[in-house]
Chains A and B, each alone.
Chain A
Amino acid sequence: MKAPLEWLKAYVPITLAPKALAEKLTMAGLEVTSIDHGVLDVEITPNRADCLSMIGIAREIAVATGQRIKLPGGQGVGDKGQGKSRATKTGGIVIRVEDAKACPQYVGRVIEGVKVGPSPAWMQQRLLACGQRPINNLVDITNYVLLEYGQPLHAFDLDRLSGGTLIVRRAKAGEPITLLDGVARKLTPEMLVIADAKAPVAVAGVMGGTGSEVSPSTKRIVLESAQFDPISVRRTARALGLATESSYRFERGIDPQGVEAASRRAAQLIQELSGGRVTATITVGKPPAKSRRITLNVGRLDRRLGTRVNPVEARAMLARLSCRVAAAGSGTVLTVEPPSFRRDLTEEADLFEEIARLIGYDKIPPTLPAVRMSLPSGDGGLSYRRLQSLRCLCASLGLTEAITWSLLSEEDFTRAGYPVQDAVRLANPLSQDHALLRPSLFMGLLASVRRNVSRGVTSAALFEVGSVVDAQQLPEQPQRLGLMLTGDWQQDWQRRVPSDFFRLKGLLEALAVRVCAEALLAESGPQPWCEPGHGVILRIAGQPVGVAGLVARRIAHASDIEQDVWFAELAIERLLEHRRSTTTAHAPPVFPPAKRDLSVIVSDEVAHASVEAAIRETGGAILGQSRLIDRYTGKPVPAGKHSLTFALEYRDPARTLTAAEVDAAHQRIVQALAQRFSATLR
């Protein structure tokens, strides 16, 4: 909110330099974000509706600098023709409030004989400094008093009100009104309006209508000063897509005691500056007679702030804030009656903050907590630590962590081959680029690879840990680990190692070895994004934990990636279900192994895993490690076949094996492979 120093000085003496004053206000909770040609820009937090005015800010300056504030008058306003009745016509007008909850107070002053013209230069300058355009003396005065008191006002042309009547009521469904912004709108019964005998003439607390607008020929006006319910105004303003100086203040809550004062002040200015005369004042409803009482326990204050506050000083500070304070007990229990304009002070904690801020947050010495040790009440941060070690593990395997958007576009889905209709959407997206929640880490990683490739970075090895959303599983949001590879895994002057399926699989196996108690097994399985024959379902102990494979050409192409991309995604919760517990260590074997290589030729239809399984099965208890060390196709291996070479180790933990035992086992394997796969020795 803009506050010209020159205007503030009308209510409070300011001796500090602008910068020092700004500093003081900032440290008192009214942050001054800039000072421009003697105009402060003050950030008013939503709780401080009382500071949405010059008087409010002046009051804060007075409190912060130990000054007194001087309020403008409202003098010389006659109270002629006081009327309260809803039926009797006073001064040529009837005012009726049909919804007292939405409008607890309504003050209407009839001013006759006004002359519409420009407002004086001093007023225009103040309005301009606050960012408001001067219009004419009547409108300017209502705006001026709004800025001065924080009380929104409105002036109706009494001669344009049908039936000389103002009714505060709910709108009828579809009732039309053209507001001062020139836009015609249809109203709903949730909206509170000010109506004349025929139709709405203003939307209460939001904006007036053109039909009763003050014009150059206006002679008689009704000046409205009212209190409207914050929620009602807020809903209405939102529904109409309007945010006005008036609605902003009503939503935050105005000072109920200020309704009459502001009306008086505006009437006084109108009499002075446009030559009119108040002929009637109609008041419906009144401000609450009693204000809240809050009990403040100074002992509790000390405990909460962690410092000693002298009860006498606490009392004085509250008094500076215009609270009425009475002490009980030994002066350590205070009964506090906050002023009507401080609607934010409703309980003891609010007063704690007031006292803390008057002491000065910077004057409260910092301490370190005196805690009693306690056991962690949850898992001691274990689940986070597990995620974090997974991230570190991926980085140690050579992958770079990516953080991609949780919100995607329909195009991201289609490009990635995911159906859009299954997506969980935002009800109120900021843009269609980020409107759908991600069901997988695939899209985000693919977009990252796409961006890198388009910028000439053609090699990438990325991972991301993050949650995904599936409409069927909500509110659960499973955590996933995504991996994506493209281009070269490694490249220098000695060697170039392109990424491929087996690089990806190797990374996944290494991950599983480090994290899980059991091995990761891959079985071929199609995926929507995957090239047929190049995708696998990953299992641990028979349970699916993820998928991996080569991204289908058409999908990479749709992302302008004309090179191979591999992707894998693991369900972290499922992976961790199989996590390793503490390792039981074995001493290294004492007796040497017998090493034999086994080279067989098999048909291309025979999967490595089945050969491997047959070796393990027939090798018997003395077969230790069996490792594939070569796979070869080409001459002299016949077409349609390939050779596999395994390095086998036979061993017994308790003795050295005899050659005969090893030969027998080895022979069994050779025979089994011959029988099951028609394998021949190479």
Chain B
Amino acid sequence: MSDALDAVRKAFAADLAGAADTVTVEALRVKYLGRKSELTAAMKDFGVLSADQRGAAFKQANELKAFIEARLSQRLTELAVAPARAALDVTLPGAAVVQGRLHPITQTLDAILSLFLPLGFEIVEGPEAEYERYNFDGLNIPREHPSRENFDTFFLDVPSPEPALGRLLLRSHTSPVQVRVMEQRQPPLRILVPGRVFRPDPLDPSHSFMFHQVEGLMLDDRTSFADLKGVLQQFLHALFGAGTKTRFRPHFFPFTEPSAEVDIACASCQGAGCSTCGHKGWLEILGCGMVHPNVLKGVGYDPDKVQGFAFGMGVERIAMLRHGIKDIRLLFENDLRFLSQF
């Protein structure tokens, strides 16, 4: 091909690549195929060539013409189907998606519950306005007993619908559901009870008159104190990390014997003592023990044949530890700037 034709082809290819609309494409048609085009001019020069060369040159020129025609109409079709778009500022923010969330207490509760479910525990709920019998007597907390002092309670100012079950109160722990379930079912039992509980503690950064607990109960003919330690240790490792140090200390609860309180080593100071743990090095995380024979007898179980453990923990306390929340009241203000973090 002559150098002239080659130059035309190259120039056309460059122009076409930059042609983003039909007007430009039509202008290219005039530029490359019109009477004043370089191609037409080049073809006029073919007259000086020999007959042989002239034939070959015209053939090449016509092929180029056909090529240009074809590319121009192809581009026109492309532009008709998908006109070019203006470029976006892709750095603009994405459209706001309306996002809902679960409350951090619900999320923590769910984290706790989901660690016990694979062990075959079943979630049961019970009423918040509860009878005295389930909140106290059925749990081996007799009236006039000093152990009731640890369970100061709100009573409802209404006549009891069921006087034999005592007055109605706002349950001070989730343990009454244990008694309700035991009354209705036979062992083996593995239950978890989440829920709201109430105690007359004035609101301050670490106390609230309303909070949440998770209660667990496992009863059969063989579950032992060593099993209690095993299950709760697994749970605490899963919740706080496999390396978390735990300790079981003797304690007193009227409804368990032996009873224990379980501490985890304070993560902030690694046991050295700091303000998070009140300079103890340990954080009290749950209470537990072997279900007291009196509780079993109270629901008609034979304490020689049925044994097992119960445990209970405060959900807010765990949520506060997990999320570094310093004031329990934040959990009940429902300030969206707080909630939107979870």
Complex CA distance for A425 and B336, rounded to whole angstroms: 30
Which chain B positions have C-beta within 8 A of A46? Answer: 145-147, 149-150, 252
Most buried by A among B220, B257, B261: B257
Do the beta carbons of B156 and A425 come within 8 Å of each other? yes
Do the beta carbons of B200 and A428 come within 8 Å of each other? yes
Which chain A positions have C-beta within 8 A of B64? Answer: none
Do the beta carbons of A452 and B336 come within 8 Å of each other? yes
- The answer to whether the Cβ of B323 comes within 8 Å of any Cβ in the partner chain is no
Complex CA distance for A20 and B229, rounded to whole angstroms: 24
Specify the chain A residue showing the minimal Cβ separation from B226.
A306
Which chain B positions have C-beta within 8 A of A452? Answer: 334-336
Do the beta carbons of A347 and B250 come within 8 Å of each other? no
Do the beta carbons of B155 and A427 come within 8 Å of each other? yes
| Docked complex: A380-417 residues within 8 A CB-CB of B | 380-381, 383-385, 387-388, 391-392, 394-407
Which chain A positions have C-beta within 8 A of B127? Answer: 467, 475, 477
Do the beta carbons of B102 and A492 come within 8 Å of each other? no
Which chain B positions have C-beta within 8 A of A217? Answer: none
Tally of contacts, chain A with chain B, CB under 8 A:
266
Known: A306-B225, A306-B227, A475-B129. A391 touches B102 (CB 8 A): yes
Known: A349-B293, A406-B198. A303 touches B307 (CB 8 A): yes
Most buried by A among B146, B260, B335: B146
Which chain B positions have C-beta within 8 A of A429? Answer: 154
Complex CA distance for A480 and B128, rounded to whole angstroms: 14
Do the beta carbons of A305 and B249 come within 8 Å of each other? no
B interface majority secondary structure: mixed
- The answer to whether the Cβ of A474 comes within 8 Å of any Cβ in the partner chain is yes
Which chain A positions have C-beta within 8 A of B334? Answer: 402-404, 448, 451-452, 462
Do the beta carbons of A489 and B98 come within 8 Å of each other? yes
Stretch at the interface among A87-95, A357-365, A573-581: A357-365
Do the beta carbons of A395 and B102 come within 8 Å of each other? yes
Do the beta carbons of B128 and A477 come within 8 Å of each other? yes
Which chain B positions have C-beta within 8 A of A491? Answer: 96
Known: A378-B185, A395-B101, A402-B334. A428 touches B154 (CB 8 A): yes
Stretch at the interface among B42-50, B54-62, B73-81, B117-125: B117-125
Do the beta carbons of B100 and A378 come within 8 Å of each other? no
CB 8 Å contact bits of B156-199 with A (1 = contact, 0 = none): 11100110000010100000000001000110111100101010
Stretch at the interface among A194-202, A368-376, A548-556, A673-681: A368-376
Stretch at the interface among A23-31, A66-74, A146-154, A608-616: A23-31
Specify the chain B residue showing the minimal Cβ separation from A30.
B250
Specify the chain A residue showing the minimal Cβ separation from B117.
A381
Size class of the contact patch on chain A: 35 or more
A24 CB to nearest chain B CB (Å): 11
Partner pick for B123 among A47, A349, A381, A461, CB 8 A cutoff? A381
Do the beta carbons of A369 and B230 come within 8 Å of each other? yes
- The answer to whether the Cβ of B131 comes within 8 Å of any Cβ in the partner chain is yes
- The answer to whether the Cβ of B106 comes within 8 Å of any Cβ in the partner chain is yes
Specify the chain B residue showing the minimal Cβ separation from A34.
B279
Do the beta carbons of B103 and A402 come within 8 Å of each other? yes
Do the beta carbons of A399 and B156 come within 8 Å of each other? no
A497 CB to nearest chain B CB (Å): 9
Which chain B positions have C-beta within 8 A of A373? Answer: 120
Which chain B positions have C-beta within 8 A of A406? Answer: 128, 170, 196, 198, 210
Do the beta carbons of A400 and B339 come within 8 Å of each other? yes
Do the beta carbons of A461 and B100 come within 8 Å of each other? yes
Known: A304-B224, A305-B224, A457-B337. A424 touches B157 (CB 8 A): yes
Specify the chain B residue showing the minimal Cβ separation from A455.
B335
Which chain B positions have C-beta within 8 A of A477? Answer: 127-129
- The answer to whether the Cβ of A377 comes within 8 Å of any Cβ in the partner chain is yes
- The answer to whether the Cβ of B222 comes within 8 Å of any Cβ in the partner chain is yes
Known: A364-B229, A391-B106. A353 touches B250 (CB 8 A): yes
Which chain A positions have C-beta within 8 A of B196? Answer: 406, 466
- The answer to whether the Cβ of A252 comes within 8 Å of any Cβ in the partner chain is yes
Which chain A positions have C-beta within 8 A of B158? Answer: 424-425, 471, 474
Do the beta carbons of B156 and A424 come within 8 Å of each other? yes
Which chain B positions have C-beta within 8 A of A378? Answer: 122, 124, 181, 185, 191
Which chain A positions have C-beta within 8 A of B95? Answer: 492, 494-495
Known: A46-B146, A349-B257. A384 touches B124 (CB 8 A): yes
Do the beta carbons of B230 and A362 come within 8 Å of each other? no
- The answer to whether the Cβ of B290 comes within 8 Å of any Cβ in the partner chain is yes
Do the beta carbons of A400 and B222 come within 8 Å of each other? no
Complex CA distance for A254 and B223, rounded to whole angstroms: 35
Complex CA distance for A622 and B114, rounded to whole angstroms: 49
Which chain B positions have C-beta within 8 A of A55? Answer: none
B339 CB to nearest chain A CB (Å): 5
Partner pick for A368 among B144, B227, B257, B280, CB 8 A cutoff? B227
Known: A33-B280, A46-B150, A356-B250. A401 touches B226 (CB 8 A): no
Specify the chain A residue showing the minimal Cβ separation from B92.
A493
Known: A31-B249, A46-B146, A368-B230. A356 touches B258 (CB 8 A): yes
Do the beta carbons of A475 and B250 come within 8 Å of each other? no
- The answer to whether the Cβ of A231 comes within 8 Å of any Cβ in the partner chain is yes
Partner pick for A384 among B123, B190, B220, B257, CB 8 A cutoff? B123
Known: A361-B248, A377-B186. A303 touches B100 (CB 8 A): no
Complex CA distance for A350 and B231, rounded to whole angstroms: 23
Which chain A positions have C-beta within 8 A of B258? Answer: 305, 349, 352-353, 356-357, 361
Which chain A positions have C-beta within 8 A of B225? Answer: 304-307, 356, 364
Known A45-B251, A407-B209, A489-B98; further 16 A-B contacts with Cβ < 8 A: A27-B250, A28-B250, A304-B307, A305-B224, A347-B293, A349-B290, A352-B257, A365-B226, A367-B229, A395-B101, A398-B98, A403-B334, A475-B127, A475-B162, A493-B92, A493-B93
**Which residues of A line the B interface, CB within 8 A?**
26-29, 31, 33-34, 45-48, 230-231, 234-235, 251-252, 300, 303-307, 347-350, 352-353, 356-357, 361-362, 364-374, 376-378, 380-381, 383-385, 387-388, 391-392, 394-407, 424-431, 434, 437, 448, 451-452, 455, 457, 460-463, 466-467, 469, 471, 474-475, 477, 489-495
18 contacts between A and B (CB under 8 A): A46-B145, A303-B307, A304-B225, A356-B225, A366-B226, A366-B229, A377-B186, A378-B185, A378-B191, A381-B117, A384-B125, A398-B99, A405-B210, A425-B157, A430-B200, A452-B335, A457-B336, A475-B129
The 8 tightest CB contacts between A and B, nearest first, are: A306-B224, A306-B226, A29-B250, A45-B252, A353-B258, A398-B98, A395-B100, A448-B334
